[in-house]
Protein backbone atom coordinates (compact mmCIF):
# COMPACT_ATOMS: atom_id res chain seq x y z
CA UNK A 1 0.00 0.00 0.00
CA UNK A 2 1.49 3.41 -0.90
CA UNK A 3 2.45 5.45 2.11
CA UNK A 4 -0.02 8.22 1.18
CA UNK A 5 -2.86 5.75 1.67
CA UNK A 6 -1.57 4.12 4.82
CA UNK A 7 -3.87 4.52 7.79
CA UNK A 8 -0.89 4.11 10.09
CA UNK A 9 0.82 7.35 9.07
CA UNK A 10 0.46 9.75 11.98
CA UNK A 11 -0.41 13.40 11.65
CA UNK A 12 3.04 14.30 12.98
CA UNK A 13 4.90 12.26 10.40
CA UNK A 14 2.67 13.66 7.66
CA UNK A 15 3.48 17.19 8.79
CA UNK A 16 7.20 16.40 8.77
CA UNK A 17 6.96 14.93 5.28
CA UNK A 18 5.06 17.99 4.04
CA UNK A 19 7.65 20.38 5.44
CA UNK A 20 10.47 18.42 3.75
CA UNK A 21 8.77 18.49 0.35
CA UNK A 22 6.96 21.26 -1.44
CA UNK A 23 4.37 21.50 1.38
CA UNK A 24 1.50 20.32 -0.81
CA UNK A 25 -1.35 18.58 0.90
CA UNK A 26 -1.94 14.98 -0.18
CA UNK A 27 -5.73 14.87 0.03
CA UNK A 28 -5.81 11.08 -0.04
CA UNK A 29 -3.81 10.98 3.19
CA UNK A 30 -5.68 13.89 4.83
CA UNK A 31 -8.13 12.47 7.39
CA UNK A 32 -10.81 15.20 7.05
CA UNK A 33 -10.90 14.61 3.28
CA UNK A 34 -11.08 10.84 3.73
CA UNK A 35 -13.88 11.09 6.31
CA UNK A 36 -15.87 13.47 4.13
CA UNK A 37 -15.46 11.24 1.09
CA UNK A 38 -16.49 8.15 3.04
CA UNK A 39 -19.50 9.95 4.51
CA UNK A 40 -20.63 11.05 1.04
CA UNK A 41 -20.26 7.52 -0.38
CA UNK A 42 -22.02 5.86 2.54
CA UNK A 43 -24.84 8.42 2.34
CA UNK A 44 -25.16 7.78 -1.37
CA UNK A 45 -25.18 3.99 -0.91
CA UNK A 46 -27.88 4.24 1.75
CA UNK A 47 -29.94 6.65 -0.34
CA UNK A 48 -30.53 3.88 -2.88
CA UNK A 49 -32.73 2.22 -0.23
CA UNK A 50 -35.06 5.20 0.17
CA UNK A 51 -34.73 7.16 -3.07
CA UNK A 52 -35.93 4.63 -5.62
CA UNK A 53 -38.63 2.97 -3.52
CA UNK A 54 -39.93 5.99 -1.59
CA UNK A 55 -38.81 9.02 -3.60
CA UNK A 56 -36.91 10.53 -0.68
CA UNK A 57 -33.72 12.51 -1.10
CA UNK A 58 -30.91 12.60 1.47
CA UNK A 59 -32.09 15.73 3.34
CA UNK A 60 -35.65 14.36 3.54
CA UNK A 61 -34.31 11.10 4.96
CA UNK A 62 -32.25 13.04 7.49
CA UNK A 63 -35.38 14.83 8.71
CA UNK A 64 -37.32 11.55 8.95
CA UNK A 65 -34.42 9.78 10.68
CA UNK A 66 -33.99 12.55 13.25
CA UNK A 67 -37.70 12.73 14.01
CA UNK A 68 -37.87 8.93 14.07
CA UNK A 69 -35.38 8.47 16.89
CA UNK A 70 -36.83 11.31 18.95
CA UNK A 71 -39.52 10.62 21.52
CA UNK A 72 -40.74 14.23 21.42
CA UNK A 73 -41.27 16.70 18.59
CA UNK A 74 -38.29 18.92 17.82
CA UNK A 75 -37.47 22.04 15.85
CA UNK A 76 -36.14 22.17 12.31
CA UNK A 77 -33.09 23.88 13.81
CA UNK A 78 -32.51 20.82 15.99
CA UNK A 79 -32.65 18.62 12.86
CA UNK A 80 -30.18 20.92 11.08
CA UNK A 81 -27.80 20.89 14.04
CA UNK A 82 -28.10 17.16 14.64
CA UNK A 83 -27.48 16.22 11.01
CA UNK A 84 -25.00 19.01 10.29
CA UNK A 85 -27.11 20.02 7.29
CA UNK A 86 -27.67 23.65 6.31
CA UNK A 87 -30.94 25.01 7.69
CA UNK A 88 -32.21 26.05 4.24
CA UNK A 89 -31.73 22.47 3.00
CA UNK A 90 -33.64 21.17 6.03
CA UNK A 91 -36.35 23.78 5.48
CA UNK A 92 -36.89 22.58 1.89
CA UNK A 93 -36.99 18.96 3.08
CA UNK A 94 -39.51 19.85 5.80
CA UNK A 95 -41.74 21.62 3.27
CA UNK A 96 -41.61 18.63 0.92
CA UNK A 97 -42.32 16.10 3.70
CA UNK A 98 -45.22 18.19 4.97
CA UNK A 99 -46.74 18.28 1.48
CA UNK A 100 -46.42 14.48 1.36
CA UNK A 101 -47.99 14.28 4.84
CA UNK A 102 -44.97 12.48 6.30
CA UNK A 103 -44.42 15.07 9.02
CA UNK A 104 -46.51 17.71 10.72
CA UNK A 105 -46.01 20.84 12.76
CA UNK A 106 -47.21 20.97 16.34
CA UNK A 107 -47.32 23.97 18.61
CA UNK A 108 -44.58 24.21 21.22
CA UNK A 109 -46.37 24.20 24.58
CA UNK A 110 -43.58 26.33 26.11
CA UNK A 111 -43.53 28.96 23.34
CA UNK A 112 -46.68 29.30 21.25
CA UNK A 113 -44.76 31.25 18.59
CA UNK A 114 -42.62 28.21 17.84
CA UNK A 115 -43.64 25.04 16.08
CA UNK A 116 -42.05 21.63 16.49
CA UNK A 117 -41.97 18.79 14.01
CA UNK A 118 -43.06 15.18 14.40
CA UNK A 119 -43.74 12.22 12.18
CA UNK A 120 -47.29 11.60 11.08
CA UNK A 121 -48.63 8.04 11.14
CA UNK A 122 -47.68 7.80 7.45
CA UNK A 123 -44.16 9.06 8.19
CA UNK A 124 -43.72 6.72 11.15
CA UNK A 125 -44.84 3.75 9.04
CA UNK A 126 -42.31 4.66 6.35
CA UNK A 127 -39.57 5.14 8.96
CA UNK A 128 -40.30 1.72 10.52
CA UNK A 129 -40.30 0.08 7.09
CA UNK A 130 -36.95 1.63 6.18
CA UNK A 131 -35.02 0.77 9.34
CA UNK A 132 -34.39 -2.94 8.59
CA UNK A 133 -33.44 -2.12 5.00
CA UNK A 134 -30.93 0.52 6.12
CA UNK A 135 -29.49 -1.72 8.82
CA UNK A 136 -28.94 -4.45 6.22
CA UNK A 137 -27.25 -1.93 3.93
CA UNK A 138 -25.05 -0.79 6.82
CA UNK A 139 -24.01 -4.42 7.39
CA UNK A 140 -23.18 -4.79 3.69
CA UNK A 141 -20.99 -1.69 3.82
CA UNK A 142 -19.22 -2.90 6.96
CA UNK A 143 -18.85 -6.49 5.74
CA UNK A 144 -15.25 -5.83 4.70
CA UNK A 145 -14.39 -5.44 8.41
CA UNK A 146 -14.07 -8.18 11.01
CA UNK A 147 -16.24 -8.03 14.12
CA UNK A 148 -13.27 -6.68 16.08
CA UNK A 149 -12.55 -4.05 13.43
CA UNK A 150 -16.19 -2.93 13.58
CA UNK A 151 -15.94 -2.54 17.36
CA UNK A 152 -12.63 -0.69 16.96
CA UNK A 153 -14.11 1.60 14.30
CA UNK A 154 -17.05 2.41 16.58
CA UNK A 155 -14.69 3.13 19.46
CA UNK A 156 -12.43 5.35 17.34
CA UNK A 157 -15.36 7.27 15.87
CA UNK A 158 -16.61 7.79 19.42
CA UNK A 159 -13.25 9.21 20.46
CA UNK A 160 -13.28 11.63 17.52
CA UNK A 161 -16.87 12.66 18.29
CA UNK A 162 -16.00 13.17 21.93
CA UNK A 163 -12.96 15.27 21.05
CA UNK A 164 -15.26 17.48 18.95
CA UNK A 165 -17.88 17.58 21.73
CA UNK A 166 -20.54 15.88 19.58
CA UNK A 167 -23.58 14.13 21.00
CA UNK A 168 -23.00 10.38 20.74
CA UNK A 169 -26.22 8.68 21.82
CA UNK A 170 -29.93 9.00 21.18
CA UNK A 171 -30.51 9.41 24.90
CA UNK A 172 -28.03 12.27 25.05
CA UNK A 173 -29.65 13.91 22.02
CA UNK A 174 -33.15 13.43 23.45
CA UNK A 175 -32.08 15.05 26.71
CA UNK A 176 -30.97 18.24 24.97
CA UNK A 177 -33.53 21.02 24.50
CA UNK A 178 -31.43 22.48 21.71
CA UNK A 179 -28.70 20.53 20.01
The 10s digit of each residue's pLDDT in 132-162 is 999 999 999 999 999 999 999 999 999 999 9
CATH of the domain at 39: 1.10.10.10
8 A C-beta contact, residue 46 and residue 57? no
pLDDT of residue 70: 86
pLDDT of residue 57: 95
Percent of the chain with pLDDT over 70: 85
- Among candidates 108, 110, 84, 111, which has minimal Cα distance to 179? 84
- The DSSP secondary-structure symbol of 176 reads -
Provide the domain limits for residue 110: 35-175
Q: How far is 108 from 117, CA to CA, in rounded Å?
A: 9
Counting Cβ atoms within 10 Å, is residue 75 exposed (0-12), middle (13-18) or buried (19+)?
middle
pLDDT of residue 176: 66
Structurally, how many domains does the chain consist of? 1
85 inside domain: yes
84 inside domain: yes
- Among candidates 17, 46, 48, 11, which has minimal Cα distance to 31? 11
Element (H, E) at 174: helix 170-175
163 inside domain: yes
5 inside domain: no
pLDDT of residue 71: 82
Mean pLDDT of 107-116: 80
14 inside domain: no
pLDDT digits (tens, 9 = 90+) for 37-93: 999 999 999 999 899 889 999 999 999 999 998 888 999 999 999 899 999 999 999
Amino acid sequence: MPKAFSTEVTAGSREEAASKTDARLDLFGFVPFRLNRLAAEVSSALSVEYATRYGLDIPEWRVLATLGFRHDPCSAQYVADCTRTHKSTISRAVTSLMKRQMIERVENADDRREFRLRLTRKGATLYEELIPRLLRKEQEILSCLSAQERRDLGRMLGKLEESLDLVQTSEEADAKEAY
